[in-house]
C-alpha cells in the first residue's frame, strides 16, 4: 500500500539517493551516478537534509515521503520562507513513477499542511531548461512565474495563492 507520511531519520540517506538519482537523469550529468553522489555531497547540494528536524519540522514546515513498504517512491517538503509564505522543496519522484499523479497527491498533502500552518502563499524554484515537465505541472496547478534574482539563468521562481 502506498502511503504519504513524515520522513523517518533512518530514511534520509535513501531520500538523498532518490533525489540524486532523479537529478542525474534529468540534468544529463556526465559523471556516473555513484561518482556524482560523493561529489555533490562534498559540495553540500542536499545539506538541508542533514538536519531535517531543524530545517523543516522546526522551521514551520514538514518533509514527507511517499512510500510503498520500505521503498521510497518520492519526496516533498515545505519550509518557512517568510511571514505567510512557505517554499516547496524537494518534490522528487523516481522516474518510473512520473505521470501517475503521485506528485499531485504529494502536493495536496503539502497544501493541507501549509494551510494548517497559516501560509497564504507557496513559492518554489526550479530549472526551466531541464525541468520543463515540472514547470508545466506547476503551471497547471496554478503556480505563476515571479521575479527571481538567482545566479543560474535557467532557474525560475514560481508562486501560488493557497
For 76-92, b where at least 16 C-beta lie within 10 A, e where not — what string?
A: bbbbbbeeebbbbbbbb
561529489: which residue's cell?
39
- For residues 31 and 100, the model is more confident at 100
CATH 3.40.630.30 fits 2-118, yes or no: yes
- The answer on pLDDT for 152 being more than 80 is no
Nearest to 24 by CA among 101, 124, 95: 95
pLDDT of residue 30: 84
Q: Between residues 149 and 126, which one has the greater pLDDT? A: 126
Is the predicted pLDDT of residue 150 greater than 80, yes or no? no
Could you tell me the pLDDT band of residue 31, with boundaries at 50, 70 and 90? confident
Res. 28: pLDDT tops 90: no
Measured CA to CA, the distance from residue 130 to residue 154 in angstroms comes to 8
> Could you tell me the three cell numbers for 133?
515537465
Amino acid at each position: 500500500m502506498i502511503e504519504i507520511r513524515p520522513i523517518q531519520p533512518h530514511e534520509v540517506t535513501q531520500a538523498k539517493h532518490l533525489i540524486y538519482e532523479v537529478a542525474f537523469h534529468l540534468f544529463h550529468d556526465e559523471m556516473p551516478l555513484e561518482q556524482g553522489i560523493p561529489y555533490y555531497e562534498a559540495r553540500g547540494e542536499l545539506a538541508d537534509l542533514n538536519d531535517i528536524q531543524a530545517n523543516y519540522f522546526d522551521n514551520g514546515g514538514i518533509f514527507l515521503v511517499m512510500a510503498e513498504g520500505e521503498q521510497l517512491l518520492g519526496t516533498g517538503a515545505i519550509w518557512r520562507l517568510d511571514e505567510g509564505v512557505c517554499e516547496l522543496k524537494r518534490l522528487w519522484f523516481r522516474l518510473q513513477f512520473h505521470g501517475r499523479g503521485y506528485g499531485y497527491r504529494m502536493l495536496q498533502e503539502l497544501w493541507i499542511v501549509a494551510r494548517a500552518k497559516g501560509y497564504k502563499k507557496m513559492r518554489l524554484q526550479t530549472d526551466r531548461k531541464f525541468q520543463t515537465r515540472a514547470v508545466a505541472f506547476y503551471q497547471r496547478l496554478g503556480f505563476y512565474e515571479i521575479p527571481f534574482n538567482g545566479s543560474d539563468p535557467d532557474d525560475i521562481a514560481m508562486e501560488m495563492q493557497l
